[in-house]
Amino acid sequence: MSSTSQKHRNFVAEPMGEKPVTDLAGVGEVLGKRLETAGFDKASVVLGQFLVLKKDKELFQEWMKETCSANSKQSADCYQCLKDWCDEFL
């Protein structure tokens, strides 16, 4: 497994609950606001989109680019965070 940020490890370490979208790795305040504006106000809502896209990395990264103008590193970090969370809890 590649090295991950503390934010990533914290997110993956516990159930989703009502975590804000900014708790996702790769999502800071700016992307968080853009996602909230698009209706993705909680990490669980982004997880739903991740699952709708069948956990496909390319599709998810394209969705993030279109939805909140995420760059490739931000979207890759968010993808990996959600994938690792799913591997742990689903």
The pLDDT tens digits of the residues spanning 76-85 come to 999 999 999 9
The pLDDT tens digits of the residues spanning 50-64 come to 999 999 999 999 999
- Asked, for residue 81, whether it belongs to a domain, the answer is yes
- Asked, for residue 1, whether it belongs to a domain, the answer is no
Q: In which element (H, E) is residue 3 found?
A: none
Best CA proximity match to 88, nearest among 3, 7, 11, 4 = 11
- Asked, for residue 84, whether it belongs to a domain, the answer is yes
pLDDT of 2 > 90? The answer is no
Q: Give the pLDDT band of residue 4 (cuts 50, 70, 90).
A: confident
Quick one: CA dihedral 33, 35, 40, 46, positive or negative?
A: negative
Number of domains in the chain: 1
Residue with the larger pLDDT of the pair 2 and 55 = 55
In the chain, what is the greatest distance between 2 CA atoms, to the nearest angstrom? Answer: 33
Owning domain of residue 69: 6-89
Model's pTM, two decimal places? 0.94
